[in-house]
Amino acid sequence: MLCDEVSELDWAIALSQLVELVNDVSKKAGKRLSKLIRSQLQRWIDGLPSYIKAYLPVLACES
């Protein structure tokens, strides 16, 4: 049943949810690990084509 639901998800929604999930995990990690996760996530996003970036949530920088 889960496979059916996943196959019906729009790719942009799925990608956005994945980025938000990784971002949420980074918020719960220790400070050093959080910084590493967010840095890697941002590097990955920076490498994406602009038409894909347009679908992603904006990552807010936290201090």
Task: Give the chain's mean pLDDT.
Answer: 78
Q: Angle 11-28/31-46 helices, nearest 10 degrees?
A: 160
In the numeric block, which tokens belong to residue 56? 């992603």
Q: How far apart are CA 17 and CA 21, in angstroms?
A: 6
> 35: domain range?
13-53
Residue 22 lies in a domain: yes
pLDDT exceeds 70 at position 28? yes
- Tell me how far apart the terminal alpha carbons of the chain are, to the nearest angstrom: 41
- Report the number of distinct structural domains present in the chain: 1
CA 13 → CA 32, 53, 62, distances in Å?
29, 12, 24
Which pLDDT band holds residue 62 (cuts at 50, 70, 90)? very low
d(CA 20, CA 18): 5
In a domain, 32, yes or no: yes
The reported pTM is 0.60
